[in-house]
Amino acid sequence: MIDIGVVIVGFNSREYARRCLGSLAAAAWGGFSHRVVYVDNASVDGSVEMVRREFPEVQAIANGRNVGFSAACNQGAAAAAGSRYIYLLNNDTIAFPDSVRRLAEFLERTPSAGVAANRLLNPDLSDQWSARRFPTWINAIFGRRSLVSRWFPQAGALNTYLYKDALAAGQPFAVDWVPGSCSLVRRAAYEQVGGVPEDMHYWSDAVFCDRIRKRGWEIYVVSEARLIHDEGHGTGGKTAEVRRWLIRDFHKGAYRFYCEHYELGAWNPARWLAAMGLRARAQLLIAADSLRERRLGA
C-alpha cells in the first residue's frame, strides 16, 4: 500500500503539465510513499508523449475522448488503487517542496478530517482565496471574482465567505468546501461518497465536499501548505462558444448544489427563485462577454 496517489487531469496544456510534474518530482515527500497518475482527456498537443518521455515514473492514461474532469479524477483514483490518500491536483499548479507533505502530516494527526487542501496562491504569490463557505444569495453579488467584490474587497460578506481572517492567522482551519484543484482526500471518505460527481463540471467540488461533510468528516485548509495555481489555464484556450457554455454550466451547477445542499423539494419556492435568479445572472454575463468580444474585434 502506498500513502498518496496523486491524480492530475490534463487537456491540451502540455507546458502547464510539465511544470506541475516537475515541481512534484522536486518535492520533499517526508517519507510518504507516492504514485502519480496523469489522466489525459484526448489532448492533441503532445501532452501524453511529453509525460511518457520526460516523466517515465508517472503513469499516463490517454483517453480517446474527453470524458470530463470529474470522470477523469475518478479514473485516476481507481488507477491509484491501494493508496491511503488521493491528492486531486490541477495541472496548472506548481508545488512548493512541502506542499503535499504538510497536507499528509495534517491528515495523519487529524482523524476527523476527510479532506485537507492547500492555500492557493496566484503566480504573484497573492492569495487566491480558495477556502469557501457554502454560498448564500448575497454571494451572487459578493462572489470571489465578482465586479462588486473587486470594488469592495474588504466587505464583510466577502471576508466571511472566503474565510479571510482565518487564512490570515496562518493555522489549519475547518471550512465548508474547497476546490478540487488541490485536495488531499482520505480514501475512505472518497469512496463513501462514490468519488467526484461525474454528472457535473462546475460545482462538482462543492457537492463532493458537502457529501463528505454529511458523512461526518471535516474539511480543512492547511494555511502553511501553499501551492501556486495559474487559475484557468489547465484546459487550454477557450473560444467564445466554450466561454459561454462555461458560464451556463457554472450557473446550472450552482443551482444543483443549492437544491441538494438545502434539500429543496420540487415544489419549494426557494428552488424556483434560485432558478430564476441564476438564469438571469447567467444571461447578463453572457451578454457582457459578447459585448467584450465585439469591442475587442472592433
77, 86 Cβ separation under 8 angstroms: yes
Domain residues of the chain, as ranges? 4-229, 240-297
| Averaged pLDDT for residues 236-247 | 78
pLDDT digits (tens, 9 = 90+) for 137-183: 666 565 555 554 465 566 666 778 889 999 989 999 999 999 988 99
Find the helix packing angle between 240-261 and 204-214, rounded to 10°: 20
- What b/e readout covers 226-261, taking b as 16+ CB neighbours within 10 angstroms? bbbbbbeebbbeeeeeeebebbbebbbbbbbbbbbb
Of the candidate ranges 61-65, 125-129, 143-147, 214-218, the one whose mean pLDDT is the lowest: 143-147
C-alpha cell at position 76: 485516476
pLDDT digits (tens, 9 = 90+) for 4-46: 999 999 999 999 999 999 999 999 999 999 999 999 999 999 9
DSSP state string for 43-77: -SSSHHHHHHHH-TTSEEEE-SS---HHHHHHHHH
More confidently predicted of 294 and 170:
170
Pairing status of strand 4-10 against strand 34-40: parallel
Q: How many helices (H) and strands (E) does the chain have?
A: 11, 9
pLDDT digits (tens, 9 = 90+) for 191-207: 999 999 998 888 899 99
43, 12 Cβ separation under 8 angstroms: yes
Please provide the average confidence, as pLDDT, over all residues in the chain.
89
Q: Which CATH number is 4-229 given?
A: 3.90.550.10
| pLDDT at residue 122 tops 90 | yes
CA distance 292 to 289: 5
